[in-house]
Structure 1
Amino acid sequence: MSRYSAAEIEAKWQKAWDEAGLFRAIRKNDKPKYYVLEMFPYPSGRIHMGHVRNYTMGDVIARYKISTGHNVLHPMGWDAFGMPAENAAMASGGHPKDWTYGNIDDMRAQMKPLGLSIDWSREFATCDPEYYGQQQALFLDMLEQGLVYRKNAVVNWDPVEMTVLDL
């Protein structure tokens, strides 16, 4: 038996999966629906082993659900709106839009060879006007209904990014 060549064999099967649309979510009412969504990576940084670990766990769940007859939606999103992306762009000397979308391209190119069961046709970035426009409209609807409010609170301040960290 010849030696396993990951570069050759993985590329062959990933191409076959892509051509067959194996991981593309299609509405099928005869199958139970299942949604797999991991964290969105920040395109202000670089892909690292923590990302690989995170998306591998989601991949295992998605593949299991596919194998048990579920209609699985497993999209990819990029948390690309706000100060971290703007600060990274300024540090590199580029325009935030150009730098952010360029880094998304780089990160996608690093992730695709992993062969994850992601439906790349459902990819989006939170800096896409179509995305944040809908989010802003939703926020305004909730504000009108009294579901959101403003108050003073203790926060975690990030002196590097000059912004508030999520708790």
Structure 2
Amino acid sequence: VITRTWQTADKMKRQRGRLDGDGARNDNFRARRYIAKYTINPAITHGISHEVGSVEAGKWADLVLWRPAFFGVKPSLILKGGAIAASLMGDINGSIPTPQPVHYRPMFASYAGSRHATSLTFVSQAAFAAGVPQQLGLRKAIGVVSGCRGVQKTDWIHK
């Protein structure tokens, strides 16, 4: 999804030219617009933007860090709920600082209770009010979906 989104952004820039909000030397407005297409706007559509979708104080954020040359293709580090979930790692028994081959390996947030502490389960308001998470014995934090029935395109950010 990410790679295709950026390919579309590049195609649209070449086909239609610069956007009004872009500067002479950058495409910052276009970048924010296309990042919103796979972060905050889907969260708004699904009624969970009060919990996830952007990097703000009080929200859950799963972050992926990339080297610029591999953006959207090969992440360097994956943070889930503030803890390292996966990262590139060489041979554990390597005797040099940069052993090869390098593979993605699960890290701290992938084990034991961290999996439950670093993620959310979303339920409807009716399910939350009826105590469904407690009845099912869910250990993850619970997020409540709200306001998704009346969402319109005008509610999106940087559309």
Q: Bin the TM-score by the shorter chain.
A: under 0.3
Normalising by the residue count of structure 1, what TM-score does the alignment of the two structures yield? 0.22
Q: Which has the higher contact order (CA 8 A, sep 6+)?
A: 1
**Higher strand proportion:** 2
Taking structure 2 as the reference length, what is the TM-score of the superposition?
0.23
